[in-house]
Amino acid sequence: MASQNQSKRTQEWRAQKEAEWAVVDEDWNTFPKLPGAHLLWHKASRKKWELKSKNGPLWAVLTTPLDTDGCGVTVGTTEYVVRQDGRANYKSKQYQSRHVQVLDSSGSSVMSWTGGHYRSTAGTRFMLSGGRQLTFPVRRHGRSTLMSAIEEGGSGASLITYRMERGTMTLLAPKHSLGQIFSVEIVVSPDGLSVPDVALLVALTSHLPWFYGMVLTTPLYT
């Protein structure tokens, strides 16, 4: 009897997970049809990356990798600097307790974040001006990996959706330690377009080091 009950619970768990995985796969496949601004990173030079929408306009420029303290991000004519009080390496034990400030040209903080995505925890939390806070849950099944920017206390709808694609070579993405190649696509929803400093937010959350942690956040289901 005990073995039968265990088998039934296993079957129910499997059925629930298969339903969840089917939703992830469908959302991954329909990503190109999402409403909003569709963005991609392009490498402009050895130390310069440009975040552009698919129809051309420039959103932001990144001059050094985000895992480097003091990296620069330019949005329009405004330059921002990222300052970290903990190690940025996603493998370090201090990664989830770090605190990162984003400063404008006057030295004022415009947004910040704490923690990081590592192992089984999507622990990154962004604090925006006005007290708004965002979290970044990850969903994954097989080759389908999605991350969302969700406002705490909001409707639960994704303001920004990120899709990772494996096996696609881009000038931006180096090889992961597992020898795989990654690229990142971003869609800012119509509601997300009204978020203050959204271009800066997207630039900070979509650069490659984030997605190393993103891969480690959830197990690879097949």
CA distance 26 to 64: 35
pLDDT tens digits along 169-178: 343 444 433 3
Q: How far is residue 42's CA from residue 49's CA, in Å, rounded to a whole number? A: 6
Domain ranges of the chain: 19-217
Helix (H) or strand (E) holding 23: helix 2-29
Which position has the higher pLDDT, 18 or 87? 18
Collapsing DSSP to helix, strand or coil, 175 comes out as strand
Q: What is the DSSP letter of 159?
A: S
Tens digit of each residue's pLDDT (9 = 90 or more) over 90-135: 555 555 556 788 999 898 999 988 877 766 667 788 999 888 999 8
Query: How much is the pTM?
Result: 0.80
Q: Which of 113, 71, 73 is nearest to 95 (CA)?
A: 113
Q: Provide the CB-side half-sphere exposure for 87 (13 A, CA).
A: 7
